Amino acid sequence: MTGPDEPAALSATGLGFRYRARGGWALRDCGFTVPRGRITALVGRNGAGKSTLLHLAGGLLRPAEGEIRALDSVPGTASARSRVALVTQDKPLYPRFTVADTLRMGARLNSRWDPAVPERVVREGGIAPGARVGELSPGQRTRVALALALGKRPELLLLDEPLADLDPVVRGEVMATLMTEAAERELSIVLSSHVLPELEETCDWVLLLRDGRVGLSEDTGTLREDHLLVTGHADGAAALAGHDVVHRRTHGRQLTALLRPRGPLDGDWHVTHPGLEEILLGHLRGAEALAGDLKEAA
């Protein structure tokens, strides 16, 4: 966890949002601190609230309750707008503009504009500067949107499923570009994604949402150290009672459980340290599967 005085890339207290005054809450009681200089994976199942949170962080929506801060500023204010870039899933770009027009517009609108990075990002994608944005493939448009965001030289880059429409080769290239930018420019990145294997090597912080609430906000190293995957005979399940069991499943007589041990483990278990993907999958499945287990046991 971060200390209270550590500068935050993104933080929230009691944050709540609903799309209609009488509608359900898309986010509720959210409190977290994502430290600066991290690449944060924002994960959660469909409808968990990831896009809503990124829109609030980027100043496109305003909280109904509580507060959110991006680089310690209120999203949408001049101080936040000049230092925070958001790439949304719909990537609003002018279809009649050429790629070069689009980058020129970025330069005109942003006093901190640095042409080198966006030009490189576009060139590496083999996209002609004279091509019209409306005639690009969705993946190519994603690249132009990322180029535009990086040209702002943001201190915080918010990306809503940026890799979803990129082919696997390009995904790797774009991720490498983002990591280089993060390392060289002290850029903080928060990116939502459903592609858990890709997050394993790139992200060092996880913000997990579950049904509009924060399930985890933690350093990935701590998560790896704290979790164990244990396999053993289902009859020994009672020995796990004193530990925080995140998720468990049984195949015949064999029980497999993802847990955060609270002390030494009793019983005869085969114990391994799970990777980040397994840990996140366990937390995403967790509550629902355990509730199912309890119903079965009743």
Ligand X SMILES: Nc1ncnc2c1ncn2[C@@H]1O[C@H](COP(=O)(O)OP(=O)(O)OP(=O)(O)O)[C@@H](O)[C@H]1O
- Distance CA(23)–CA(140), nearest Å, equals 36
Binding to ligand X in span 240-269, by CB under 6 A:
none
Counting contacts by CB under 6 A, is residue 62 touching ligand X? no
Report the residue number, 43 or 175, with the smaller CB distance to ligand X: 43
| Contact mark string toward ligand X, 37..56, x via CB under 6 A | -------x-xxxxxxx----
Q: Residue 10 is encoded by which pair of tokens?
A: 């993104």
Q: Residue count at the site for ligand X (CB under 6 A)?
A: 10
Cα(110)–Cα(14) distance, rounded to whole angstroms?
32
Q: How far is the CB of 109 from ligand X (least distance, A)?
A: 26
* CB of 60 vs ligand X, minimal distance in Å: 11
Does the protein bind ligand X through residue 102 (CB under 6 A)?
no
Give the residue carrying structure tokens 């020995």. Answer: 239
Taking the least distance from each CB to ligand X, the nearer of 56 and 257 is: 56
Contacts of 129 (CB under 8 A, 6+ apart): 98, 99, 100, 103, 122
The rounded distance, in Å, linking the Cα atoms of 278 and 78 is: 40
- DSSP state letter for 88: -
Q: Where are the alpha helices (DSSP H) in 96-167?
A: 99-109, 116-124, 138-151
The least CB distance from residue 44 to ligand X, in Å, is 5
- Residue 22 in the binding site for ligand X (CB under 6 A): no
Given candidates 8, 9, 10, 26, which one binds ligand X under the rule CB under 6 A?
A: 26
Q: Which residues contact ligand X by CB under 6 A? A: 19, 26, 44, 46-52
